[in-house]
A = this chain, B = another copy of it.
Amino acid sequence: MDTAEIKKRIVQGGMKFTHQRMVIYGALSLSEDHPTAERVHEKIKSANPSISLGTVYKTLDSFVNAGILQKFTDDTGIMRFDPVLETHSHLYCNDSKEFRDFKNPLLEKLLKSFFEENEIEGFEVEEVSLVIKGKTK
């Protein structure tokens, strides 16, 4: 994702465009992993030593509220950020403790049809979140 595209996303999210937001979103959009706030801070601080960890937290939170970033919490309770907005699942490696995106149209269709065809009594489904745990081989 290039500079212009990132700026567009930030502005479309209804946010002021700042240097910090540019740098932080840039670090995220490059990463295939699902970094924590601290990891994002590490990635950017050599080139941008003045951006504080507090700002990274606040900025990531603003991105989530603006809908241009997704967040989830891993098994250890630490927040993870994901710039991929489309419906997708996550692979979690029990050995390396790392996440990877898993996009599979068939699986998504399967889940979608299941919940369309099977009403859950007393509950209205809005979204489903699937984590696939196992080992990289």
Distance in Å from the Cβ of A45 to the closest Cβ of chain B? 24
Chain B residues whose C-beta falls within 8 Å of the C-beta of A73 in the assembled complex: 73-77
A62-111 residues at the B interface, CB under 8 angstroms = 72-79, 91, 93-94, 100, 102, 104, 106-107, 110
Number of copies: 2
Q: In whole angstroms, what is the CA distance A128 to B90 when docked?
A: 10
* CB of A15 closer than 8 Å to a CB of B: no
The DSSP consensus for interface residues of chain A is: strand
Q: In whole angstroms, what is the CA distance A93 to B135 when docked?
A: 31
Known: A73-B74, A91-B120, A128-B132. 14 other contacts (CB 8 A): A73-B75, A77-B77, A77-B79, A115-B132, A123-B134, A124-B136, A124-B137, A125-B132, A125-B133, A126-B134, A126-B135, A128-B131, A128-B133, A130-B130
Give chain A's interface residues, CB within 8 Å of chain B. Answer: 72-79, 91, 93-94, 100, 102, 104, 106-107, 110, 114-115, 118, 120, 122-137
